A and B are shown apart, each in its own frame.
Chain A
Amino acid sequence: MKGYYFRQARQNLIQNPWLNAITLGTITLSFLILGLFLVLFLNTKGLLEDWGGRIRVTAYLGGSPDQEQMTRLREKVRGFEEVMEVKVRSKEEALKLLEEKIPERKELLRGLPRNPLPASLEIRLKGEYQSSEGAQSLARKLRGIPEIEEIQYGSDWLERFSAFMALLKGLGLGLGALLLLSTIVVISNTIRLSIFARREEIEIMRSVGATGLFIRAPFYLEGVLQGFLGAVLALAVLFALFQLFLSQVYEPLRGLLGNYPVQFLSLEQMAAVALGGVVLGLFGTQVSVGRYLRL
């Protein structure tokens, strides 16, 4: 019986080769645009997270805390859920660092009557808190510690980074929804035409006692095949384009982009795209079968 379903589905596909080619092309194009967006989104996210991984929250301490006070503070801050690592920098260390950065002013700095630089805690955030919200949340907690006088975490940059990611995500979701909807419409339209092309056969099948499932199954299979093939074809084209990008754009500009390794979709993500094709195929078929093949 399964053989019959496949034969019928194949026959449906062969019966309207141009229509099916156009449908397959449209599905491929939709998935290609979606795939491009997905690769762009994932890599931008990775790149920005890579940069974001360098986010430091610096808490400047007032007065001249001794070693014991600073160790106690470090332990306290380390206890916050946002914190991955805390480095203590004494007033002396801060001055030494400044001297290293501006060696031509070394003598001037040594001539100062007292060290003007404050001691500080340099805090690195955990991965999930490397965002504007994460840094702000930690800053609120740090403000509750009386020894801390000032907090710096480059909030403007972080907010822009978060807003850009949200925009990218929103655009991706909007465009994705639009393309998926158009794919469903295209598949559903093809199946509708397939149903009309086979209406005589369907009538005869009904008259001789074929069950609803038996009549509908080849159409579902046709829709699923179209969705799956469209998604797989899109992945193949996307991979070819990715390779082209690597050789023509990424390698020459590697220095500008830093050493962030640009990545293609993972196996799981590719499987999800193919599965998406299957689900869309089923959904598109259901729209037409439910409407035009009431048995």
Chain B
Amino acid sequence: MRVSKKQSEKRGRTGRPYRLRRKGISLGNGSAAIIEMIHVSKAYEDNPNALFDISLRVEKGQFLYLVGSNGAGKTTLLKLLYAAERPTAGEIWVNGVEVGRLAPRKIPYLRRALGLVFQDLKLLPRRTAYDNVAFALEAVGAERGEVAKKAAQALRGVGLERRANCLPSQLAAGEQQRLAIARAVVNDPVVLLADEPTGSLSVTAAEEIIHLFEKINLRGTTVVLATHNEGLPAMWPKEKIVLDQGKLTEGAPPQPMACG
């Protein structure tokens, strides 16, 4: 994993962010939370409650489903995690960095610790499968030798080593999804954020993708998988949180009760 010197300096010896420790917020059972959202809200002009008072924590190495119907706020929540959006209220900590107040010039260094799988895949149509993966390495300034080695490794990891020279349009839907995953993990991210990765796939292809995420998760990468399909957690059980109209309805941490 590549973490900038400045980022690593922000963390204390315990791995916890200084600011959290200073504020006296407990991180629970002693294991480090890789993602923590504290009373986070996000309002848009046309949608004042896109997300409302979300508090959640994701432990390092966890596999978490983020379930919700279309428009529930899943994509917005993921965007907040990789600093594509700023929260209207609350604090967001990802990999020891307070994302909500992160200076724009530091955002690239946060993203190097994250792997992103987009709903629309965002594959480069005029580049081969290999080039699509290699591009993610080149974009962070990797050396040529490293690019060749890691890109081939990532394609092997998703079973596309023999399709390396194909254009995305020559790949099946499931293969395209695997290619998007290979690109997301090629920089060895600490957290993998996937937005509807099985949305347009057949059950068999979806199963392959979930197994792939499990394999990645077993290597220690934290996986947050957003889906509108409530059947996924039922078929491949993992921890889940449910979003409905911008609010957490299941899996929210217990709120303190009023005294008296």
B partners with A: yes
Q: Which of chain A's residues 209-254 have a Cβ closer than 8 Å to chain B?
A: 209-212, 214-215
CB distance from A100 to the nearest CB of B (A): 83
Q: Distance in Å from the Cβ of B79 to the closest Cβ of chain A?
A: 11
| Chain B 34-62 per-residue mask, 1 if CB under 8 angstroms from chain A, else 0 | 00000000000000000000000000000
A205 on the B face (CB < 8 A): yes
**Which of A80-88, A139-147, A196-204, A262-270 is the contact stretch?**
A196-204
Note all chain B residues with C-beta closer than 8 A to A214: 139-141
Asked if B108 contacts A204 (CB within 8 A), the reply is no
On whether A4 and B111 interact (CB within 8 A), knowing A201-B135, A204-B136, A207-B82, the answer reads no
Contact A4 B141 (CB under 8 A): yes
Q: Report if B116 contacts A (CB, 8 A).
A: yes
Question: Are A209 and B122 within 8 A (Cβ)?
Answer: no
Complex Cα gap A116–B122 (Å): 100
Most buried by B among A204, A208, A211, A214: A208
What total count of A-B pairs have CB within 8 Å? 56
How far is the CB of A210 from the nearest CB of chain B, in Å? Answer: 4
How far, in Å, is A14 (CB) from chain B's closest CB? 12
Question: Which residues of chain A from 162 to 207 have a CB within 8 Å of any chain B CB?
Answer: 200-201, 203-207
In-complex Cβ contact of B122 among A1, A200, A212, A295 (8 A): A200
| B24 on the A face (CB < 8 A) | no
Pick the residue among B105, B113, B116 that contacts A207 (CB under 8 A).
B116
> Do A208 and B122 touch across chains, with their CB atoms under 8 A apart?
no
Would B104 and A210 count as touching, CB distance under 8 A? no
Chain A residues lying within 8 Å of B118, measured Cβ to Cβ, are 207
With an 8 A cutoff between CB atoms, is B146 at the interface? no
Indicate if the CB atoms of B112 and A201 lie closer than 8 Å: no
Contacts of B110 in A (CB 8 A): 209
Known A210-B108, A211-B108; contact A205-B122, beta-carbon cutoff 8 A: no
In the bound complex, what is the Cα–Cα distance between A1 and B146 (angstroms)? 13
Closest to B4 in A: A209
Most buried by A among B104, B108, B141, B183: B108
Q: Which of B82, B109, B138 is within 8 Å of A4, CB to CB? A: B138
In the complex, the 10 A-B pairs of residues with the closest C-beta atoms, listed nearest first: A209-B112, A209-B111, A210-B139, A205-B139, A209-B108, A208-B136, A211-B108, A207-B116, A208-B139, A1-B141
